[in-house]
Amino acid sequence: MFKIIYMIFGIVVLVAYASSAWFGWEIANSGSRSRLGVPFIYTGFRGGK
């Protein structure tokens, strides 16, 4: 059972990676000194200053 769950998990990770590459999603704002927290998947503007 755990094997099936693990394989499903692996497929989910693969699909997530392929989707992020296709749609341009980023896990994090990766500037060396930039803040983290930019959403992985764009969900709408968060407003300006």
Contact positions vs other proteins (CB under 8 A) = 1-3, 6-7, 10-11, 13-14, 16-18, 20-35, 38-42, 44-49
User: If you search the block for the tokens 């994090």, which residue do you land on?
Assistant: 28
Q: Could you tell me the smallest distance in angstroms from the CB atom of residue 41 to other proteins? A: 7
**Alpha-carbon gap, residue 26 to 16, rounded angstroms:** 11
End-to-end CA distance of the chain: 50
Structure tokens belonging to residue 46: 């968060």
